[in-house]
Amino acid sequence: MARWEPGTRERLQAAALELFVSQGFDETTASGIAAAAGVTERTFFRHFTDKREVLFGGQHVLAERFTAGVDAAPEDASPADLVSAALRGAGEFFPDDRRAWSRRRQAVIDAHPALQERELLKLAGLARDVAAAFADRGVPEPAASLAGQSCLTVFGVAFGLWIAEGETRPFAELASLVHGELARVASAPGR
Amino acid sequence: MARWEPGTRERLQAAALELFVSQGFDETTASGIAAAAGVTERTFFRHFTDKREVLFGGQHVLAERFTAGVDAAPEDASPADLVSAALRGAGEFFPDDRRAWSRRRQAVIDAHPALQERELLKLAGLARDVAAAFADRGVPEPAASLAGQSCLTVFGVAFGLWIAEGETRPFAELASLVHGELARVASAPGR
DNA sequence: GTCTATAGTGCGATAGAC
DNA sequence: GTCTATCGCACTATAGAC
């Protein structure tokens, strides 16, 4: 038998979301989360550099989905096609059975500017990762950065629609819709 | 004679940037900034809700430039024209004699993730403000949000070019260039 | 695993401006 | 008298150092 229960990290994440939902972020202490997961405060800070980080565990998996989409695109794909490919990859991260959990998590984040800051930092990192994947496909700067950022723009708006109350369409459909809309508003001006 | 020197807020901001540059963000304490400005730590926290906030004072002015550009655009402007108008407005916030100061400030921010988080939160707020200006001009959702976010995407990339070492072209020229590039990568896929 | 510095809050007191 | 900017002190939680 193991010396510790396995899955400490996951227990901490689950306990944290639970407490944030029920008492709010500010009212929840790191030591309270640790206690709920059966470990000491010190252990909490060994797994997560700060209190906010506990909500942002799966980012690298999402990044891989984005870039895997780009890497899998055909050789002759245009930058616009690559954006579509990245979004299709990201869509795999959000099957319908994840929607309820996403709503719950996002409600916590939306209620706390400190958590929004952390989320924005993670998303900015994602945009950089995607831009790097574009650059690997030969897209020059500044187009690669713009394309990476645009992927995240579409992603963000589509995600907001996806978790809206009553929405039932799958993520991929919404992302495709929003991408088309972006093509219109971002078109060349004055002609 | 007044009981206190006026301009406490500005003195705190100047002292903070100075100390952040010379000793780094983490090594600079709030009470150190306060002392350098001739007030107590408690006064620092009355002007700024937290230590990072001291670097982000002029955001609302920038927001006004963005939205003023949108508001001043002609009645029949397309969404793409409105994006150009917003960027022209923002450009007025960055005359060439501001470039050295911007480089200095950005170097501090780039060196500290905590400051990047705060900056991203401010920029996200700007994107929302611009989106609201678009919505006021009758642009429906989700196009307004996409256009607002795209303004900030172009702004961010153009700003990065503007403060690059050796760059001398004015902000407006770079923004226009980047905007054209965005139109290409964000165009409709698959045709 | 303990110890400590710092961020950030709450509250009462002060003293000028109006 | 009210309003507002400041001080000063006590306090907790975070987060990192040892």
- What backbone torsions phi and psi does residue A3 show, to the nearest 5 degrees? -70, -35
3 state DSSP class of A92? coil
What whole-number distance in Å separates Cα of residue B158 and Cα of residue B126? 16
pTM, full prediction? 0.93
- Tell me the C-alpha to C-alpha distance, in Å, between residue B99 and each of B102, B127, B163: 5, 22, 6
Entry field: residues in chain A? 191
pLDDT value of position B44:
94
Q: Which nucleotide is nearest to B32 (CA to C1')?
A: C6
Contact A162, A94 (CB under 8 A): yes
Inter-chain touch A121–B120, beta carbons under 8 Å? yes
What whole-number distance in Å separates Cα of residue A70 and Cα of residue A79? 10
Banded pLDDT at B190 (limits 50, 70, 90): low
- Closest chain B C-alpha to A102 CA, distance in angstroms: 20
Among A128-132, A167-171, B45-49, the range scoring the smallest mean pLDDT is: B45-49
Q: One-letter amino acid identity for A147?
A: A
Give per-residue pLDDT as tens, B87-121.
Answer: 999 999 999 999 999 999 999 999 999 999 999 99
Entry field: residues in chain B? 191
pLDDT value of position A55:
93
Distance from CA(B18) to C1'(C15), angstroms, rounded: 31
Give per-residue pLDDT as tens, B113-152.
Answer: 999 999 999 999 999 999 999 999 999 999 999 999 999 9
pLDDT value of position B188:
73
To the nearest whole percent, how much of chain A has pLDDT over 90?
A: 80
What value does the mean pLDDT take over residues B169-176?
A: 97
pLDDT value of position A5:
63
User: Concatenated DSSP letters for chain B?
Assistant: --SS-S-HHHHHHHHHHHHHHHH-STT--HHHHHHHTTS-HHHHHHH-SSGGGGG--THHHHHHHHHHHHHHS-TT--HHHHHHHHHHHHHTT--GGGHHHHHHHHHHHHT-HHHHHHHHHHHHHHHHHHHHHHHHTTPPTTHHHHHHHHHHHHHHHHHHHHTSTT--S-HHHHHHHHHHHHHHHTSPS--
- Collect all residues of chain B within an 8 Å Cβ-Cβ radius of residue A131: none
Tell me: pLDDT of A1 over 60. Answer: no
Q: Is B83 on the interface with A (CB under 8 A)?
A: yes
CA B183 to chain centre: 23
Give per-residue pLDDT as tens, A4-55.
Answer: 667 889 999 999 999 999 988 888 999 999 999 999 999 999 999 999 999 9
To the nearest whole percent, how much of chain B has pLDDT over 90?
A: 89
